[in-house]
Amino acid sequence: MRKYERGIHMITKNNVYKLVKDIKTLVNSNEFKNKHCEKETFTRNRKLSFQDVIYFILGLPRKSLPTELDLYFEGENISLSKQAFSKARYQVSEDAFKDIFNLTTNIDKLVNTVNTYDDFRIFAVDGSTVSIPHNSNTEKTFGMYRNSYSEYPMARLTALYDVTNDLIVDAKFTGTDIGEREHAIDLLSSPALSNSKSKNLVIFDRGYPSRALIHELEDKGFYYIIRCYISFISCVNGCPKGDHIVMDYHQNRSTKLRVIKETVDDTPYILLSNLFGTHQNKEYHYHLYQKRWEVETKYGELKTHMRVENFSGRNPRAIYQELYAALFISNLSALIKSAAESNFESSLSTSKHTYQLNRSYIVGIVCRYIKKLLYLFDYKKKLGILMSKIKKLKSIIRPYRHFDRNSSHHKATNGFYIRLNI
């Protein structure tokens, strides 16, 4: 049985070089520009070109727009108002950024061999709410979230996350009136799953179980592990503690289920799956289910390190643009980190400690230097320099540290404020 751990890396520098080249080719093509621009825009020589709009938004501007624009055009003797930028960005479709993001999702095209666990590619589906600016346009597009005390704008983001390869491979972003289960069923039709050359195992938390979801998974030939409540269906409720195989009969359809009921560290677990192998015992199921936590970490990265809720625009188009830009930066950072780690880990093989690269730092410098990576012709040289610098900022993994750090001690190393001469 082939085991997966985060230490196995299939991404090389050449894989990243090819990806960056493909992104550059796409963004600079007339076909891409014509597809995603309003008619008769960006047709004259302007201070802000179509490519500038793309690169600027991909850099996830999180300071004031005038400050970010000054930094972007540093050394070019160009002055641009935030009004001029806002007018230009709304002439670019949000689908342009979705297309760029999609270039990072098909890892089968990037590498010859993908990471797997026991021949499974493990995917986790999870959702999170995202705070958005409040105005009449966002209220019309996303609606309002209401509770007993107030109402405020909120959107729902559900990600399909490839745990074994550290990539967000698809996502749904809508108003909160569309539920997580609807998002999940839609994501099962993702090209990342249908085009996968490996066996797909999808993991869900307790908010997702439904017969419709299970039937969709079965019909598509996917394996799954779903945590559920005891009251989900009668055949689950009637199972005693332990590991059982049961049949669920509903609307002239029978479904074979594995039901595992155990208490782990004083926490009751009920897991449903269609894994029936003799070696796939309850410990095997719990080990795989725990990998779902990595998608929670990914949301933490999006909201904390990338400050995805701090939108620079208030129009729904701007919100979609920056969301897909954030997903793209997350994936590109993961791929760069993986390529840097391939040499990094071998160089530390004699060390008594286990080290990891600083992910927030990587995200920060990728955002900061996205223009240099995608705009200049010598991108290979820039990527090489960037990876060399990334490998120097390492930290010891301390597996038994459970207390929270004082974040105020680390403000100076926030990747968004680090300047590098690359």
Q: Do 45 and 132 belong to one domain?
A: no
Do residues 162 and 48 both lie within one domain?
no
User: Does 111 lie in the same domain as 91?
Assistant: no
Tell me the average pLDDT of the chain.
Answer: 84
Asked if residue 52 and residue 130 are part of one domain, the reply reads no
Q: Select the more confidently predicted residue: 286 or 379.
A: 286
> What per-residue confidence (pLDDT) applies to 70?
87
Same domain, 122 and 157: yes
- For residue 372, what pLDDT band results from cuts at 50, 70 and 90? confident
What is the average per-residue pLDDT within 165-188? 94
Q: Which residues pair with 225 in a beta bridge?
A: 203, 273
Q: Are residues 148 and 218 in the same domain?
A: yes
Last residue of a domain, one of 296, 330, 358: 296
Q: Which of 317, 335, 27 is nearest to 169 (CA)?
A: 335
Band of pLDDT at residue 4, cut at 50, 70 and 90? very low
Judge if 238 and 158 occupy the same domain.
yes
What element of type H or E holds 245? strand 242-250
The CATH number covering residue 142 comes to: 3.90.350.10
Question: Quick one: 334 and 407 in the same domain?
Answer: yes
pLDDT value of position 421? 39
Least confident window among 85-89, 144-148, 271-275, 304-308: 144-148
Per mean pLDDT, which of 4-18, 322-336, 406-420 is the most reliable? Answer: 322-336
112 in the same domain as 87: no
Count of the separate structural domains present in the chain:
2
Assess whether 181 and 207 both reside in one domain: yes
Same structural domain for residues 359 and 405?
Answer: yes
pLDDT digits (tens, 9 = 90+) for 58-86: 998 888 888 888 888 887 878 888 898 99
Whether 1 maps to a domain, the answer reads no
Spatial CA neighbour of 181 closest among 216, 139, 218, 220: 216
Is the residue at 63 inside a domain? yes
pLDDT at 405: 47
| Domain range enclosing 74 | 13-96+318-417
Mean pLDDT of 302-315: 89
60 occurs within a structural domain = yes
User: In the Cβ-directed half-sphere of 291, how many Cα atoms lie within 13 Å?
Assistant: 26
Please say which residue of 296, 329, 347 terminates a domain: 296
Which of 339, 345, 354, 332 has the alpha carbon at shortest distance from 387? 339
Domain boundary residue among 296, 327, 343? 296
Residue 394 pLDDT: 66
Average pLDDT over residues 187-216: 94
Whether residues 82 and 108 fall in one domain: no
pLDDT of res. 166: 92
